[in-house]
């Protein structure tokens, strides 16, 4: 692609496409969109619907805006310039490409001679700004400028201006051609053409591609009659279709040295009802096209004017801040399906994070950042989470009043549809029209930083947008909902009722039977022994997917017996849905503190492990047992069939003792009667306690600010006292002097015995500290002992981030954070490492590429920076932030912002265009870059 004219074109083209009538030589403000060219790579040429990268993301970063459900790419090849670019659609829960870079490619023909204008030697360019995509073609005869912006939350608009550089009147025929991708996952599969698409039809001078009802775990979910369409402003345009390709034609005339401008509208809608509504919107859009294009640019300039306030940041750092803002706005989806508000999803390009899939944990972080440049979408994102906050008349889980569901999206799940509860509340499609939700999840919630996010929006509306009335209305609206969520934690996740909630699992068929008993799954050849141990009535052989000897083991007591006899039962596989839900509830899906560590069974599930050294390295539990219990972890065998060389009872009991350090116990939680309301993992998590401390602090502040008459306003002092208690509890019970770090505490010993009696006092022989600050007038002891065995992780600096740590404890924690052998990887791996990973490098379960046991996640990274900042290590925080900027692959350039990064190499991992990473990147810009 010819880049030589870029500097000349950027200013002139952006001024032209924005319909800016001011003098083009006027100095633009530093926050004008034209100052931020190609800060995120928008180029790509998809060749199938699921054109994916190595991490299963869509390969290219399409431009989408205004909450729309489709996007455009810039062409990668000069020959494709002049097109609408590759097209991405966002369906109910996923995203896919439907066209390559040649889609809707414009050809210009001299009507008098019938000859196509030759642009093969023209100067061409394509580039992006935050608000638009730009393409330019120019030869001696004509200059063509195409600008892509979004006009509604379903429609993009491409403005095409053709300038006649000749001194002659010209009659021109315009021809647009395009073809939809026919392949789905692999080249030649033809699945899109045979199963996904329903029909391609001409509509006046445009087209309409309709979709079948789909619901595929391969990444597609559409209603019958979902539609992608093109509408053209040229009245005389006509279209002919052939299978899934088309040709549209139109005519224009251009005076000598004059120009002509026309528009094409591209819409993606979810169903025929939306199609009718959007057809009317498109007509209005095309009538007001010039002002719509200007408004889009003005809107983005407003984002940048509010968002780019760090005068100390370098241009490169400001570029990354803009990339973060683009990422967050690109993941914004407008209301659709049962979701009544706008929302921001984790990633428009990742396989499970697109559509309008909305998580609370992600939302708190998105909105904390967007409060500073797009507060209205931030508020709507939070409203979406609370739209399905459980009420006491809920048809599925009335016992969970106040609860926030983990994932909600476009369609209700089948049980909620069948309940009839939503009839008349939402327009629920028939089963023939649409499938129920695929990724909706109610089995857990997420940590509560909700009040933290709500108050950030409140202060931003007041202080940065001069919207005091909106700020007041906002906290008046949210405060009672936040209080209900706060109360839920204490009623349904506080197993010992000491005011310090645990993480756990809701009552849900994913991990409990219909009559409310928790179950696990185990694989063993000793089925008779298993039945003898727990009782035949508590065992059900299930043999899913043809596997041999797989059993469902029912009941908490049965589960505990399995843990106590794990080696004796020769268990080769194990799955605990409650443990999974608990880790999800924490937001740290496979963190070490929740008992996740690779063992020999896991090693045997990996066919790529083919050598003894590889197997020994992968078997983390075996290595841990060798180091701490003298277990002989020598291995023999071959891929998927590794065994220990010493299987004597004496040796295997050492492994059993080691495994107990990593086993997790559960307790049932009941209401004041006998109603089961959920399950708690029997450990109190230091990060959850820290978030509860913050929650109380923010709620106490909010109670003093909300209007008279708002429910719960009188509870401010209660929240103050609860915060004081939790802070004391964290520093008394959760800090370990020997290792200078905060940890979760286990509520039971390794055999499942409680450290406290039924009155809340330590059992005989157990020495536990008493917390100085009472809870609800009662003296409270520490509920257990610190859980050091599972190593150190970012939860240990959560008390610092939340302001709950004492300075003395914080000083010790920060020394650990800055230890080059633990968390300060950018110092240890100069020029490539990224610090503050999700497990210390000496953690027994650490792996640089393990999801939550090594990789660097930017939420915990940013929490770490704030921890250092709040407690006096500002320079270290700035240095670590800069190391990420320099060492994170693609971070400081035009690469997408990723879900996580390798702590030793800086390599990108996980989802591309990841919202919470973008949110914390933006907050790093505000608080650390150049500081």
Ramachandran assignment for 337, one of left (phi > 0), alpha (psi -120 to 50 degrees), beta (any other) = left
Q: What would the DSSP string read from start to end of 628-675?
A: HH-----EEEETTEEEES---HHHHHHHHHHHHTT---EEEEE-SSS-
Q: How far is CA 826 from CA 339, 668, 741, 822, 887, in A?
A: 42, 43, 21, 11, 8
Q: For 154-235, where are the alpha helices, taking DSSP H only? A: 191
Q: Minimal CA–CA distance to 330: which of 340, 318, 344? A: 344
Work out the widest C-alpha separation in the chain, in whole angstroms: 102
Task: Collapse the DSSP code of 835 into the 3-class scheme (helix H, G, I; strand E, B; otherwise coil) and give the result.
Answer: coil
Q: Is 252:72 a contact under the CB 8 Å cutoff?
A: no
Q: Is 725:718 a contact under the CB 8 Å cutoff?
A: no
- Exposed e or buried b per residue across 692-724, where buried means at least 16 C-beta atoms within 10 angstroms of its C-beta: bbbbbbbbbbbbebbeeebebbebbeebbbbbb
**Catalytically annotated residue among 131, 795, 899, 904:** 899
Q: How many Cβ atoms sit within 10 Å of the Cβ of residue 468?
A: 12
Q: How many residues are recorded in the chain?
A: 931
**Catalytically annotated residue among 123, 179, 589, 701:** 589
Task: Verify whether residue 904 is a known catalytic residue.
Answer: no
Through-space distance between the first and last CA atoms of the chain, rounded to whole angstroms? 38
The CA distance from 104 to 99, in Å, is 9
The CA distance from 132 to 296, in Å, is 9
Q: Is 594:504 a contact under the CB 8 Å cutoff?
A: no
Task: Verify whether residue 640 is a known catalytic residue.
Answer: no
| Cα torsion through 738, 741, 742, 748, rounded to 10 | -40
Q: What would the DSSP string read from start to end of 412-464?
A: --HHHHHH-TTBTTB-PPPTTT-PPPSS-B-S------HHHHHHHHHHHHHHT
**771 Cβ neighbours under 8 A, 6+ residues apart:** 725, 728, 729, 732, 733, 779, 780, 781, 782
Active site (catalytic) residues: 589, 899
């Amino acid at each position: 692609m010819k880049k030589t004219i870029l500097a000349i074109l950027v200013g002139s083209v952006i001024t032209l496409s924005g319909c800016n009538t001011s003098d083009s030589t006027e100095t633009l403000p530093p926050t004008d969109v034209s100052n931020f060219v190609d800060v995120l790579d928008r180029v790509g040429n998809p060749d199938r619907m699921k054109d994916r990268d190595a991490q299963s993301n869509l390969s290219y970063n399409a431009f989408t805006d205004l909450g729309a459900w489709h996007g455009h790419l810039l062409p990668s090849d000069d020959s494709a310039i002049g097109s609408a670019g590759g097209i991405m659609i966002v369906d109910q829960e996923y995203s896919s490409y439907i066209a390559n870079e040649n889609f809707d490619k414009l050809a210009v023909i001299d009507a008098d001679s019938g000859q196509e204008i030759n642009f093969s030697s023209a100067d061409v360019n394509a580039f992006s700004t935050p608000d638009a995509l730009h393409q330019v073609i120019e030869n001696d005869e004509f200059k063509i400028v195409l600008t892509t912006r979004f006009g509604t939350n379903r429609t993009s608009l491409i403005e095409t201006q053709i300038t006649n550089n000749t001194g002659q009147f010209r009659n021109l025929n315009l021809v647009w051609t395009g073809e939809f991708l026919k392949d789905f996952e692999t080249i030649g599969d033809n699945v899109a053409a045979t199963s996904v698409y329903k029909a391609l039809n001409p509509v006046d001078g445009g087209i309409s591609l309709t979709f079948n009802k789909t619901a595929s775990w391969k990444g597609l979910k559409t209603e019958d009659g979902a539609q992608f369409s093109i509408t053209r402003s040229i009245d005389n345009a006509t279209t002919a279709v052939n299978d899934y390709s088309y040709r549209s034609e139109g005519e224009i005339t251009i005076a000598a040295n004059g120009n002509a401008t026309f528009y094409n509208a591209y819409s993606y809608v979810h169903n025929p009802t939306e199609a009718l509504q959007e057809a009317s919107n498109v007509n209005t859009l095309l009538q007001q096209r010039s002002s719509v294009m200007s408004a889009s640019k003005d809107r983005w300039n407003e984002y940048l004017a509010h968002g780019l306030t760090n005068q100390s940041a370098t241009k490169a750092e400001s570029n990354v801040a803009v990339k973060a803002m683009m990422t967050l706005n690109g993941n914004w989806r407008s209301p659709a399906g049962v979701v009544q508000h706008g929302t921001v999803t984790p990633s428009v390009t990742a396989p499970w994070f697109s559509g309008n899939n909305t998580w609370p944990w992600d939302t708190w972080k998105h909105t904390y950042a967007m409060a500073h440049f797009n507060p209205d979408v931030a508020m709507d994102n939070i409203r979406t989470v609370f739209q399905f906050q459980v009420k006491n008349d809920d048809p599925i889980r009335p016992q969970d009043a106040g609860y926030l569901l983990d994932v909600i999206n476009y369609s209700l799940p089948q049980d909620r549809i069948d309940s009839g509860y939503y009839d008349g509340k939402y327009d629920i499609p028939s089963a023939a029209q649409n499938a129920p939700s695929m990724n909706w999840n109610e089995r857990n919630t997420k940590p509560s930083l909700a009040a933290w996010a709500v108050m950030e929006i409140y202060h931003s509306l007041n202080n940065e947008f001069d919207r005091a009335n909106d700020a007041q209305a906002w906290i008046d609206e949210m405060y009672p909902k936040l209080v209900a969520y706060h109360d839920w934690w204490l009623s349904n996740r506080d197993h010992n009722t000491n005011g310090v909630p645990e993480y756990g699992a809701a009552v849900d068929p994913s991990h409990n039977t219909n009559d409310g008993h928790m179950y696990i799954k185990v694989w063993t050849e000793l089925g008779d022994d298993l039945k003898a141990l727990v009782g035949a009535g508590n065992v059900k052989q299930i043999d899913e997917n043809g596997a041999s000897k797989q059993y469902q083991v029912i009941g908490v007591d049965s589960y505990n017996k399995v843990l106590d006899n794990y080696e004796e039962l020769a268990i080769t596989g194990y799955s605990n849905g409650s443990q999974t839900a608990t880790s999800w509830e924490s937001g740290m899906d496979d963190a070490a503190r929740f008992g996740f560590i690779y063992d020999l069974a896991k090693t045997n599930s990996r066919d790529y492990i083919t050598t003894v050294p590889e197997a020994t390295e992968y078997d983390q539990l075996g290595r841990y047992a060798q180091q701490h219990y003298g277990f002989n972890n020598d291995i023999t065998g071959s891929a998927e069939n590794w065994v220990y060389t010493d299987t004597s009872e004496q040796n295997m009991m050492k492994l059993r003792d080691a495994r107990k350090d990593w086993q997790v116990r559960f307790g049932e939680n009941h209401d004041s009667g006998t109603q089961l309301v959920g399950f708690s993992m029997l450990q109190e998590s230091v990060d959850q306690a820290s978030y509860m401390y913050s929650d109380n602090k923010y709620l106490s502040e909010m109670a003093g600010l909300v209007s008279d008459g708002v429910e719960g306003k009188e509870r401010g002092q209660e929240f103050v006292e609860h915060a004081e208690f939790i802070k004391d509890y964290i520093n008394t019970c959760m800090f370990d002097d020997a290792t200078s770090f905060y940890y979760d505490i286990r509520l039971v010993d390794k055999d499942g015995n409680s450290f406290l009696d039924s009155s809340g006092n330590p059992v005989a022989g157990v020495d536990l500290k008493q917390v100085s600050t009472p809870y609800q007038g009662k003296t409270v002891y520490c509920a257990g002992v610190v859980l050091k065995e599972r190593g150190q992780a970012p939860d240990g600096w959560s008390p610092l981030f939340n302001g709950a740590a004492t300075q003395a404890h914080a000083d010790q924690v920060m020394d650990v954070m800055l230890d080059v052998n633990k968390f300060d990887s950018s110092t240890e791996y100069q020029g490539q490492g990224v610090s503050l990973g999700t497990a210390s490098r000496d953690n027994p379960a650490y792996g640089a590429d393990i999801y939550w046991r090594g990789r660097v996640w930017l939420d915990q990274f940013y929490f770490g920076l704030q921890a250092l900042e709040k407690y006096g290590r500002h320079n270290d925080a700035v240095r670590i932030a800069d190391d990420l900027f320099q060492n994170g692959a693609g971070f400081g350039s035009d690469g997408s912002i990723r879900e996580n990064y390798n702590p030793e190499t800086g390599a990108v991992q996980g989802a591309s265009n990841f919202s919470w990473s973008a949110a914390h990147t933006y907050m790093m810009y505000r608080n650390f870059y150049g500081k």
